[in-house]
Amino acid sequence: MRSRWVIIIGMVAMIYAAFVYYPKWKLPRTEATISWDVSGYYLYLPAFFIYHDLKNLDFKPGLDEQYYPSSSPYQSYTHTSGHQVMKYTCGLAILYAPFFLLAHILALLFGWPADGYSSIYQFFISLGGLVYALIGLVFFRRLLLRYFDDLVTAVVLAILVFATNYFDYASITGAMSHNYLFTLYASILICIDQFYKSGSKKWFFITCFIMGLMVLIRPTEVLSKILLVAWGVSSWSGLKERVQFYFSRIPMVVYGVILWAICPLIQGIYWKYVTGEWLVYSYQEQGFSWLEGHHILQGVLSYRAGWLVYTPIMILSLLGLIYLWIRAAGMRWVLTAFILGSLYLTFAWDEWTYGGSLGQRALIQHYPLYLLAAAPLIRDLLARNLSKYVLYSMIALSSYYNLWLTHQAHKGGIYEAGMMNKAYFWHTLFKSSNDLESKKLLDTNEPVVSWDEAAAKMIKDTVYQTDTACAQASQAITLYDGLVPAGKLKVNTLVQIDLKEWDVWQMAQLILQYSTQDKVEKTVMIRLHRFINNHEEKWIDLVTTSPLQYDHIKISVWNPSSQRICIKALRLYGQK
């Protein structure tokens, strides 16, 4: 009963988060439900049902201008055939479809704009995410209760819902793929378990079909095949018996492969229709580093987007794996193989931050397996008084941390997805207000340097003539190149802009570079557009400390933006 209450309370909290605290379906532009990657997953639906234009997507530029779902139209690209190819596969569009169609019918009946992107569509796609989340939690609870008592099940569910980034990606950002895939993983685990317990082929066939749908959503979910083959295997001899089991049932396996292939075939048909080719790599220049350049340490431990940095309670999963081997538990083989495969595949992707997310979103769909690995350890910790209270304390602190992060990733504004670093992380941890000055640490990655105005000495004071220190698009200008005393340095620039650049990667940079002859000893920079608004003239400063060795410093502005930026004055101050 306790585990049921965890789901009820968790769903109430997620509904509140999605529809009251931060209702993305009401928000405009890139904060809307159908924005960024979601708009790419979703694009098939308006293209097919409303505009009947899968090849050219002629409707898309106008809708992009009206709704602005992202800063660039990356959701599709021009293929060599001359047609537009959607970047993402169509699996999520299939799961969105019931809610999209309901929204479309209501839009036609009640006069909302029936364009696929108005508020009625945003609302129902958000609602759909919560429905799939509820199904996933119910299925996962049912699986846990097959192996653990209600208390352990309740604790595992509480960890998932409140102490991990699942909360955000099943509620506020619930239209992303991870919420849906979590539910599908919980579903196939129930089916696989039932198949091996009952021997009924229908569970095998259902599993194969769902696995095909998972691959259609995210091709790397082919990893799920490990579960079907190795579930319940506890030894090498057991694995051999399992292989023999399938070889003795070739017709069943063939039917299963056919069912598995149905969903990926849908994507092949789309590619063939649009490009004339059955197989298209739609991610273009993005890819994997399978050995050299693998990102597992960054993905797990870095301040930028480290899994355990932003979801520390999941250390229980890794400790749980070790514990399974110590206790020689039966599930250790399949869980170890899957989790290692999950970590390897996830962080082989070169864009290992996944475009910026709250922690590591790409692991969320695998949490049913990660938490199954942790559950035996949790069960035994709960059996002892001292360890039980230590565990409860960990969960409470992790839940507070997770909910704080969730708030800061949305309304709070402190969490900067994909840009976090050590200095900024520790300086802002558990703060309640968003201090604009702290944003400098996102670029400098240095601890805050104390500065005493009374002890400072002016080194240079320059006022620039009109337009002599203006950086146009893709232009750099040098403000100073010479000597400064060792110690602390404050660079104060009077900056003037017409229009603010919002894309962080296009923001103009104030760059300080300490060098000895031709060797750069230290570089530090800040993005100026973070601190200035439209048609504003403002003093912006940067304080740093010199390296041990250098013989000159160069101060420049690099402007990758299309918006002009001008430096009206420069003041340099030194302090020992």
pLDDT (0 to 100) of residue 560? 93
- Clarify whether residues 401 and 487 are in a common domain: no
pLDDT (0 to 100) of residue 355? 84
Assigned domain for 440 exists: no
What's the CA gap between 510 and 567, in Å, rounded? 10
CATH number for the domain including 511? 2.60.120.260
Write down the residue that tokens 């580093």 correspond to. 289
- Clarify whether residues 402 and 481 are in a common domain: no
CA neighbor of 410 nearest in space, from 172, 93, 132, 229 = 172
- Clarify whether residues 375 and 478 are in a common domain: no
Q: Count how many domains the chain has.
A: 2
Ranges of the chain whose pLDDT falls below 70: none
pLDDT (0 to 100) of residue 240? 96
> Which pair of tokens denotes residue 396?
């409470």
User: pLDDT of 101-137, one tens digit each?
Assistant: 999 999 999 999 999 999 999 999 999 999 999 999 9
What's the CA gap between 115 and 35, in Å, rounded? 15
Residues 6+ apart with CB under 8 A from 254: none
pLDDT (0 to 100) of residue 413? 94
Assigned domain for 419 exists: no
pLDDT (0 to 100) of residue 382? 98
pLDDT (0 to 100) of residue 557? 95
Report the predicted TM-score, pTM, of the whole model to 2 decimal places: 0.95
Torsion-angle region of 52 (φ positive above 0: left; ψ -120 to 50: alpha; else: beta): left
Assigned domain for 148 exists: yes
CA neighbor of 287 nearest in space, from 214, 240, 233, 219 = 219
- Clarify whether residues 314 and 456 are in a common domain: no
pLDDT (0 to 100) of residue 336? 98
- Clarify whether residues 394 and 473 are in a common domain: no
Task: Work out the angle at residue 491's Cα, subtended by the Cα atoms of residues 489 and 495, and round it to the nearest 5 degrees.
Answer: 170
Assigned domain for 426 exists: no
Assigned domain for 350 exists: yes
Q: Structural domain of residue 482, as residue ranges?
A: 450-575
478 exposure class (CB count in 10 Å sphere: 0-12, 13-18, 19+): exposed
Assigned domain for 383 exists: yes
Query: b vs e for 268-281, b when ≥16 Cβ sit within 10 Å of the residue's Cβ?
Result: eebbeebbeeeebe
- Clarify whether residues 368 and 485 are in a common domain: no
- Clarify whether residues 401 and 460 are in a common domain: no
What's the CA gap between 41 and 74, in Å, rounded? 12
- Clarify whether residues 275 and 360 are in a common domain: yes
Assigned domain for 134 exists: yes
Task: Work out the angle at residue 72's Cα, subtended by the Cα atoms of residues 263 and 75, and round it to the nearest 5 degrees.
Answer: 10
What residue ranges in 58-213 does DSSP mark as E strands?
Answer: 76-78, 84-86
- Clarify whether residues 296 and 399 are in a common domain: yes
CA neighbor of 115 nearest in space, from 68, 81, 67, 157 = 67
- Clarify whether residues 486 and 382 are in a common domain: no
The domain boundary, picked from 409, 442, 474, lies at 409
What's the CA gap between 187 and 207, in Å, rounded? 8
Torsion-angle region of 241 (φ positive above 0: left; ψ -120 to 50: alpha; else: beta): alpha
The domain boundary, picked from 409, 425, 440, lies at 409
pLDDT (0 to 100) of residue 399? 99
- Clarify whether residues 328 and 474 are in a common domain: no
The domain boundary, picked from 356, 391, 409, lies at 409
Look up residue 47 and give its DSSP letter: I
What's the CA gap between 48 and 55, in Å, rounded? 10
pLDDT (0 to 100) of residue 469? 84
User: pLDDT of 382-418, one tens digit each?
Assistant: 999 999 999 999 999 999 999 999 999 999 999 999 9
- Clarify whether residues 360 and 481 are in a common domain: no
What's the CA gap between 408 and 413, in Å, rounded? 5
Assigned domain for 443 exists: no
